[in-house]
Amino acid sequence: MAITKFEAIKSLCPTAEFVLVEEEISEWHSEDIEQPSEEDINSELERLQTEYANNQYQRDRALAYPLTIEFIEAYTEKEILGDSTKWDAYVEKYNQVRADYPKP
């Protein structure tokens, strides 16, 4: 996913109001907020893109973790019925996801 210039400007100036036309600021409606320079915007674009790339493992984990219902069933059977079969399987799946998608 590419970070957009709009996102970079909003990151730098969250409350600013402006108009982008073909990725250029054509109107700046927030007189009380200094319009960021092109250099500042490009630096923020790069920072946001790096941050997004560095957090890919989180998105991968979120898709791969066992479902919440699996946790609930496994925990319930372990605590109420004393059968840890599903719990052990859940823990194994959970740990496998963390091993497959380690933090950088």
Q: What is the pLDDT of residue 104?
A: 84
Do 65 and 46 lie in one domain? The reply is no
In 3D space, the residue among 69, 99, 100 whose CA is nearest the CA of residue 86 turns out to be: 69
What digits encode the pLDDT tens for the residues 17-70?
A: 999 999 999 999 999 999 999 999 999 999 999 999 999 999 999 999 999 999
Domain count, the chain: 2
Is pTM, for the whole model, over 0.75?
A: no
Q: What is the pLDDT of residue 86?
A: 97
Do 64 and 78 lie in one domain? The reply is yes
Q: What is the pLDDT of residue 1?
A: 79
The domain of 91 spans 60-100
Q: In Å, how far are 38, 57, 59 from 104, measured between CA atoms?
A: 31, 8, 13
Q: What is the pLDDT of residue 80?
A: 96
Q: What is the pLDDT of residue 69?
A: 97
